[in-house]
Amino acid sequence: MTKVIILGDLHAGARNSNKTVEYWQEKFFEQVLWPYVKLNGIKRIIQLGDLYDNRRWLNMNTISWFEDVFVKPSQELGVTVDAIIGNHDTYYKHTNTPNSPQLLLTKFDNINIYDTIGNLEIDDVNFTMIPWMCKDNYDETYEAVKKGGDICVGHFDIQGFVMHPGAISKDGLRLSDFENWKTVWSGHYHTQSQNQNVQYLGTPYQMNWSDANSKHGFWVFDTTDRSMEFVENPYRYFHRFYWNEG
């Protein structure tokens, strides 16, 4: 039996490396994620893309900070991280090369980056790792999506899903394109939602005002019974207050 943490978009360096955002991100890592990993003996994390936020530049402080709050703790706790490329990780829009995770993270032995379609097997459960779909890889990616399989791990635009509260996607692939998969997990949209076999797992923390009323955290997948447990992040910095003078 293996329990695997499924972790949504991280967006290191968000809002031009805003220190307030960084503070709450760090709070999640230090007080929610890593304590859970240590307490439960977790040795595997699957990450759904957008490790970094800015596709054009990352300052040295953000690079160093992310190593301190994510990379070094994963090494110290013996955790292997398998991550796909998201759209924010790539410099160009038409290709996934070059990308920041491969340039910055492949030097670490415990981190595997998928910028092309790959397969990952844990306890006889097969995960197909599908990075951001772009012009350069469109035909190959679409063929893999239509073929189907066990568990698809991606960073997709899919029509009909909630991008953020109040906004539904009208672009991208169709839900029916994924009908040959047992399960599909996707990053990219920051709000949790599910329709049939496709599930957007959301971000581990709030990213903007639209997240004020939504839940954030991470998921734990059990390879034995294929159950999914949600672990909520209790730390929130966007709040809505309603005043009723009546």
Least confident of 5-14, 57-66, 236-245: 236-245
Token pair for 88: 């924010």
pLDDT of residue 166: 83
pLDDT given at position 215? 94
pLDDT band at 205 (very low <50, low <70, confident <90, very high): very high
Residue 175: band (very low, low, confident or very high) from pLDDT cuts 50, 70, 90: very high
Listed range (95-99, 162-166, 169-173, 193-197) with the worst mean pLDDT = 162-166
Lowest mean pLDDT among 111-115, 204-208, 237-241: 237-241
What's the whole-number mean pLDDT along residues 143-157? 98
Mean pLDDT across 187-203: 97
Q: Which residue has the tokens 């893309």?
A: 49
Q: What are phi and psi of 99, to 5 degrees?
A: -140, 150
The more confident residue out of 240 and 231 is 231
The pLDDT of 113-130, averaged and rounded, is 97
Catalogue the E-assigned strands of the chain: 3-7, 44-47, 80-84, 111-114, 118-122, 125-130, 149-155, 162-164, 167-168, 181-187, 193-195, 198-200, 217-222, 228-232
pLDDT surpasses 70 at 246: no
Amino acid residing at 84: I
Q: How would residue 210 be classed by pLDDT, with cut points 50, 70 and 90?
A: confident
Average pLDDT, the chain: 96
Residue 245 is predicted with a pLDDT of 75
In this prediction, residue 243 carries a pLDDT of: 80
- 25's CB contacts (< 8 A; 6+ apart) are 10, 12, 14, 69, 205
29 pLDDT more than 70: yes
β-pair type (162-164, 167-168):
antiparallel
- Of all residues in the chain, the percent with pLDDT exceeding 70 is 100
